[in-house]
Structure 1
Amino acid sequence: MKLNFGVSPIPSFTVASSVLGFFYVKILIKTLEKAGMLKQPWTRQEITVIQTCVSASTGISFSGGYGTYLLGMSEHAAKQTTEAKHDMNYKNPTLGWMIGFLFVTSFSGLFSVVSLRKIMIVDLKLVYPSGTATGHFINSFHALGGAKLAKFFFDFSATIVGVGMMCPHIVNISFLLGGILSCGILRPLIETRKGDWYSADLEPHSLQGLHGYLVFIGISMLLGDGLYNFFKVISRTLAGLFYKILCRNANMQIPIVENSSPVRESLSYDDQHRTKVFLKDQIPIWFAIGGYLALAAVSTAILPHIFHQLKWYYIIVIYIFAPSLAFCDAYGCGFTDWSFSSHYGKLAVFTIGAWAGASHGGILAGLEACGVIMIITSAASDLMQDFKTGYLTLSSPCSMFVSRVIGTAMGCVISPCVFWIFYKASPDLGLPTSEYPVPSATFYYNMAKLGVEGLSALPKGCLKLCFGFFAASILINLTRDALGKKRSWFIPIPMAMAVPFFVGSNIAVDMCAGSLILYVWQKKNKANADAFGPAVATGLICGDGMWTLPKCILALVGVKPPICMMFISRPTYNKLD
């Protein structure tokens, strides 16, 4: 929770939570065994279910927006602007409405994509690197010598290199191309228009300046790729159902994607067994759709009483579009291991905020809509990561879904209570003079303030660029599908190209380094690389993941590294002199 109040990116605790869950359970079981109360050995499914519950509970600490949109609604954030003259523009946190808000919204994301687990995991075979690493890690403790192997790999600390080894080569190349496009081409070109397209006096992270161009272009690429694949899956599913009804053949499988699940002979025995176990427990479609509609109805009835600015028809529109955004986020996370929920939330800030208008509480309406979208999309991508872990550990999807629901319910109570302790202990929380200034909260409030102005608030030419890149993403996907799988291996993936627009281009180098390591290894000994490549990548991710916890503890107590290394160009070095 304390990390939410800082300025640096918050690391993922997926791997760390699975490791800690494993050790806590092992200690408990050892204690019970010594007391003579337990004789049965622990299983990988039990560890997977516990990890899922812990991950769901801790995930609320981040998607709950305690350092972003939720605290951005407060009076402290509003006081730092000129718009705090009316209570329509701020809402201070209280424990009651925070818990109610989370309970109403946090479960919708689970129901929005649960019926797509076969498509994502089995048919599309998305990687979900964190879920894959966690699955391999849990399996390693149940294999002969697995614990020693996992301990050996803890010496590494290169998560992104490990992710690069897990992702297909084309994904890593797409990262690199996206970095070149964003930082090597667009950024210099747009900077030449400083003072013309946007004011030269803006702060570096202002959405009305250069940062706004990159963020909204990246969002347009995410939406173009995600929505294209969303409607492709829906259309092929409906076409398959229609063809099945016409043929009256109950044994025919629905053709979701080319060369998907019907081709079983290309799968190894392990993959066939995993697929069989994964599809054994069915979660009915009617259950997912009915659950989502019921939660949407509850949200429509309750949220306007919590947030008076968020009208019931805003909520209906949000829940109509939320499943497609959840699919986009889960689909992109499968390729890149990144959740783009905060960026989809920014999109909600601008659309709902502009719709409501400044005079009708558009600032708060935008922030509230941002929260709903962030929670739904984040839960969707996290659920698919957990399903990937369950697929690898032969765990029951139904058990994992129930565990996710329980963990989410725990997080809806625990995380607001922890935040409330900080909020009451630091009355100046969110102010510049506070121990916890929470600059992201002010950023979100100013973004919402900007959003009520509508499209006119975007920098000059930004909307045209967004439409262009949105269309380009769709065109690239059409080209990939037209050429077929065998001939489209060299065409980049827009979803992966969009990531450097948000996080910078340096990440592409690490991803490509991992891809290069695996490529050289495969050239020298393909069988060896295919067998041990996932284990090495898992070790890299787990090693860095295990360091996350002590690293955060050191940061919280103010310990700084004794030495830092930085690489800069010669012209920059001369300026330092």
Structure 2
Amino acid sequence: MNYDEASEILLVKKKRDEVFLKDRIPLGFAVSGYVGLAAISTATIPLIFPPLKWYFVLCSYFIAPALAFCNSYGTGLTDWSLASTYGKIGLFIIASVVGSDGGVIAGLAACGVMMSIVSTAADLMQDFKTGYLTLSSAKSMFVSQLVGTAMGCIIAPLTFYLFWSAFDIGDPNGPYKAPYAVIFREMAILGIEGFAELPKHCLALCYGFFVAALIVNLLRDITPPKISQFIPIPMAMAVPFYIGAYFAIDMFVGTVILFVWERINRKDADDYAGAVASGLICGDGIWTIPSAILSILRINPPICMYFKPALAS
């Protein structure tokens, strides 16, 4: 890197710092807003979830800023939010404190409170990071976050009601199994009852697969690329166990398409694969809305494919 290039980089960085720090968010506004939201939540959440007492909500709001800082800092470095991990801390603690009399509901509600605070901080960090790179005002990014949050308070419940009315949410044989609902509920029960509630040999299997995942990841890191590319990623292998095999089938089809595309035109595949994948994922998600509407209106598809064994006559 020559002197001119280094000077240009420094000028760009200086410009970004100047634009980003020009419109700072007043500390008093941030603190007063957080205190106001804490007061509203402390008063209303116990009315919705009676087992979660007001002092548990207040304690969650006292602890959450430290966890939110850690999560937002880590998200800014790695683009990976661990909001669910911090939420599990509140889940286990509150569920164990409340006990068998409402501990599951209290733990899940506390987990939701903690996750909403921590994940919002991480999302805001991502917005600030994007604003810094695109020479956008920090205040405008914060206002956009507020607008999006306000819209989410209306759209999210309506979307949930739409899905809840149209589909059998939680059906293990249906398209919307809600696996995380089962997982978090079991974790709340585990926080109350302890490891004794786990199925037989469950911990042994967990320990075994934990060690196996470490070994597989180690092999991927120490083997040459020609060999490591054929070693599966444990995280990717675990995903279908959580949300069902249909996800693995979708990913396999996408991988085959990308593989063929790279063989035909690698440059175009490298340039447009992300955009094509995003479009497919977005389209698949958007289709659930008309699908839910058709289900509510009791409109059945003209053809149905059935892949289970035929019933004996």
- Specify if TM > 0.5: yes
Equivalence for 1:394: 135
Whether 1:417 aligns to 2:147 is no
Match of 2:70 in 1: 328
Q: Which amino acid aligns with 2:163?
A: F
Q: Which amino acid aligns with 1:327?
A: F
Contact 2:91 2:111 (8 Å CA) reproduced: yes
Query: How far did 1:345 drift?
Result: 1.1
Once the two structures are superposed, residues 465-502 of structure 1 have per-residue CA deviations (whole angstroms, 9 ceiling, x without a partner) of: xxxxxxxxxxxxxxxxxxxxxxxxxxxxxxxxxxxx89
Select the residue among 277, 287, 300 that pairs with 1:547: 277
**d(CA) in 1 for partners of 2:196, 2:63:** 23
Give the match for residue 104 of structure 2: 363
Q: What letter is aligned with 1:297?
A: A
Contact 1:278 1:395 in 2 (8 A): yes
| Structure-2 separation of matches of 1:388 and 1:543 | 24
**In the aligned structure 2, how far is the partner of 1:270 from the partner of 1:323?**
32
Q: Deviations over 1:113-154 (max 9, x none)?
A: xxxxxxxxxxxxxxxxxxxxxxxxxxxxxxxxxxxxxxxxxx
Asked whether the equivalents of residues 430 and 438 of structure 1 are also in contact (C-alpha less than 8 Å), the reply is yes
Aligned-residue offset at 1:548? 2.2
Q: Is the 8 A contact 2:76 2:129 kept in 1?
A: no
Distance 1:541 1:317 in 2: 48
Does the CA contact (< 8 Å) of 1:350 and 1:454 recur in 2?
Answer: no
Q: CA deviation at 1:553?
A: 3.8
Q: Match of 1:373, as an amino acid?
A: M
Offset at residue 546 of structure 1 (A): 4.8
For 1:292, give the aligned amino acid.
Y
Q: Which amino acid aligns with 1:369?
A: A
Matched residues in 1 for 2:271 and 2:38: separation? 37
Deviation at 1:374, TM superposition (A): 1.1
Matched, 1:378 2:119: yes
How far does residue 554 in structure 1 lie from its aligned partner after superposition? 5.5
Runs of 4+ in 1 over 6 A off after TM superposition: 455-459, 539-542
Q: Which runs of no fewer than 5 residues in structure 2 stay unpaired?
A: 1-6, 204-212, 226-268, 289-313
* Number of residue-to-residue matches in the alignment: 223
Q: Distance in 2 between matches of 1:323 and 1:368?
A: 18
1:352-406 deviations in whole A, cap 9, x for unaligned?
10011112x0000000011111111111111111111111221111111111101
Separation in structure 2 between the aligned mates of residue 366 and residue 315 of structure 1, nearest angstrom: 11
- In structure 1, how many angstroms separate the alpha carbons of the residues matched to 2:275 and 2:68? 26
Deviations 1:29-84 (CA, angstroms, capped at 9, x unpaired)? xxxxxxxxxxxxxxxxxxxxxxxxxxxxxxxxxxxxxxxxxxxxxxxxxxxxxxxx
Counterpart mapping for 1:41-52 below 5 A: none
Residue matched to 1:445: 185
Cα distance change, pair 393–430 in 1 and its aligned pair in 2 (3 A): same
Quick one: which amino acid aligns to residue 345 of structure 1? Answer: G
Return the alpha-carbon distance in structure 1 between the equivalents of residues 36 and 74 of structure 2: 27
Alpha-carbon separation, structure 2, partners of 1:542 and 1:340: 29
In the other structure, the counterpart of 1:311 is 53
Match of 2:311 in 1: none
Q: Per the alignment, in what secondary structure is the counterpart of residue 452 of structure 1?
A: helix
Change (3 A) 1:550 1:346: same
Cross-structure match for 1:348: 90
Partner of 2:237: none
Aligned to 1:431: 171
Counterpart Cα distance in 2 of 1:367 and 1:434: 24
Mapped contact 1:352–1:369 kept (Cα < 8 A)? yes
Cα pair distance change 1:554/1:284, threshold 3 Å: closer
Contact map agreement 2:104 2:185 (CA 8 A) in 1: yes
Instruction: Give a deviation string over 1:245-270, Cα, whole Å, max 9, x none.
Output: xxxxxxxxxxxxxxxxxxxx997001
Identity %: 48
Mapped partners of 1:456, 1:341: distance in 2: 27
Name structure 1 gaps, 5 residues minimum: 1-264, 463-500, 514-538, 558-577
Counterparts of 1:284 and 1:346, CA distance in 2:
32
| Aligned-partner Cα distance in 2 for 1:267–1:291 | 37
> Following the alignment from structure 1 to structure 2, what is the Cα–Cα distance between the partners of residues 279 and 339?
25
Q: Which residue of 2 aligns with 1:38?
A: none
Following superposition, the deviation at residue 437 of structure 1 comes to 2.0
Change (3 A) 1:328 1:300: same
Name the SS of the counterpart of 2:122 in structure 1.
helix
Instruction: Write the mapping of 1:270-289 to structure 2, written as runs, cut at 5 A.
Output: 270-289=12-31
Separation of aligned partners in 1, 2:271 and 2:116: 25
Post-superposition shift, 1:540? Answer: 6.4
> What is the correspondence of 1:1-150 to structure 2 with a 5 Å cutoff?
none
Evaluate the alpha carbon distance shift between residue 542 and residue 342 of structure 1 in structure 2; reply closer, same or farther with a 3 A threshold: farther
CA distance in 2, matches of 1:283, 1:311: 33
Q: RMSD of aligned C-alpha atoms?
A: 3.3
Secondary structure of 1:282's counterpart equals coil
8 Å contact kept, 1:451–1:457: no
Shift in Å, 1:315: 0.7
- 1:420 maps to a residue whose letter is Y
Using the alignment, how far apart are the partners of 1:281 and 1:342 within structure 2? 32
Instruction: Please say if residues 348 and 366 of structure 1, whose CA atoms lie closer than 8 Å, have aligned partners that are also in contact.
Output: yes
Residue type matched to 2:274 in 1?
D
C-alpha deviation, 1:287, in angstroms: 1.3
Contact 1:351/1:454 (CA < 8 Å) preserved in 2?
no
CA distance, structure 2, for counterparts of residue 401 and residue 283 of structure 1: 8
Question: Retained in 1: the 8 A contact 2:190–2:197?
Answer: yes
Q: Distance in 2 between matches of 1:541 and 1:452?
A: 50
Structure ranking higher on relative contact order (CA contacts 8 Å, 6+ apart): 1
Counterparts of 1:423 and 1:451, CA distance in 2: 28
Structure that is richer in helix per residue:
2
Amino acid across the alignment from 2:93: T
